[in-house]
Structure formats: C-alpha cells, structure tokens
Amino acid sequence: MSQVAAYLATADALLVHLRRDPLFEVTIPSKTQAYRAAGRPIIMAVPGDAARIIDYSGGGVTASPEDPESLVHAVRTIMSMDPAERLDMGRRGRALYKSQLSMKAGIDSFSILFRSLTSANESGSRGAR
C-alpha cells in the first residue's frame, strides 16, 4: 500500500468510475478511501452516496457514469484550476477522510456507540431491580 500511495501522490487528480447501476448508488467504492487519504482531487463518476461525499467535502468534481462528455467536462474542470486550488481541493478531501472515513474514525465511532449501548443497558438493568 505504501508503494501505491507514492504513485497516487504524483497525480493531479484521481478517477473513480463505475458503470451505471442502481446498486452503486448506495455503495462507496473502496478506492475512494485510498484516494481521499492520498490528498488528491477526485473525479467521481459514480452516482449517489459516492458523489455526495465528493460534493460534501469539496474534494473533487463529479461526472455522470458512462457519459464521455460529462467525464471530459470534469477532467477539464480539474485541469483548468490553478495548482493551488487543486491542492486545496485535495486537502479538503483528505480532511474528510481523516474525520469520517479513516480506520481511526471508524473505531472511534464504534467505541462511542458501544459505550452508549453499554451505559443504556446498565441504566436499564439498574431500573429493573
């Protein structure tokens, strides 16, 4: 993975593309996390949740899957940006990765959930006595 990260870090932008399929509207392709961690803008040609993550973070641009003109427009949008703008876009995406998509963020979320369930269970069992 460290070798892959080095390659990703050299890119001006990274592409995630899946064919148009209703299943892909409710899934996040696994490469999205690796691309976010690389801190590079993403061109997301996947509808639904994956596109919403890009829009929410400001970490890239979206395109319609299986639509060459839309993909060309997205690439041109990224490439017309000042390098500093692309760098900032990548930083915003990386910030979202760290706060919501990283392993640490997932573990922290589960830890909070488990603690709340445990304390709710303990409160419920005390009241039942």
Listed by start position, the domains of the chain span 2-127
24-38 pLDDT, tens digit per residue, is 888 888 888 888 888
Res 55 pLDDT > 70: yes
**Quick one: DSSP state of residue 40?**
-
The SS3 assignment for 65 reads coil
- Segment 112-118 mean pLDDT: 78
- pLDDT for 71: 96
Which pTM value belongs to this model?
0.73
Question: If you average pLDDT over every residue of the chain, what do you get?
Answer: 84
Please tell me which residue, 3 or 100, carries the higher pLDDT value.
3
Q: Please count the CA atoms within 13 angstroms of the CA of 30 that sit on its side-chain side.
A: 1
Q: How many CB atoms lie within 10 A of CB 92?
A: 18
- pLDDT for 77: 96
- pLDDT for 96: 72
Q: How far is CA 108 from CA 101, 113, 119, in A?
A: 11, 9, 16
**How far is the C-alpha of 121 from the C-alpha of 80, rounded, in Å?**
55
- Classify domain 2-127 at the CATH superfamily level: Glycogen Phosphorylase B; (3.40.50.2000)
pLDDT-derived band at 128 (thresholds 50, 70, 90) equals low
How large a percentage of the chain has pLDDT more than 90?
36
